[in-house]
Amino acid sequence: MRYLLMFYADEAEWMALPEDERNAAIGRIGEWYGALARAGTIVDGRRLAGGRRATTTVRLGRIQRSGSVPIVTDGPFVEAKEAVGSYAIVDVKDEAAAIEIAKTWPAGGLVEVRPVEAER
């Protein structure tokens, strides 16, 4: 089964770290990711550009609301303290295995574990 792991952190807190500490954390993340990718557990994943680099936010309104006009604004306007910094898709036997992998994330913050729906 495949699960999406989304890695969240407070961007301001991350950027407040001294550069050598950030670089060390990036190195630990690279080692973690590389080991799981070589084992075939991580099948895809990427680091995302910081939220300040988001160029556009599109608000579509409530789900299934007819007649809504999308609102397009410049910049990152999702209202959250923590932002998704990267993600990985893991291929494991069950949710418990995905959770165990999430627990080993070396950068702190928050890891959301979500099943990837099978293609229909």
Torsion sign across C-alpha atoms 104, 80, 49, 14: negative
Amino acid symbol at 13 = E
pTM over 0.95: no
CB atoms within 10 A of CB 6: 16
Alpha-carbon 10 to chain mean position: 12
Give per-residue pLDDT as tens, 51-83.
777 777 777 777 666 666 777 766 655 566 778
Helices (H), the chain: 11-16, 19-38, 95-103
User: What are the structural domains, with CATH classification, of the chain?
Assistant: 2-115 (3.30.70.1060)
What is the C-alpha separation between 47 and 87, in angstroms, rounded?
7
Give per-residue pLDDT as tens, 17-27.
999 999 999 99
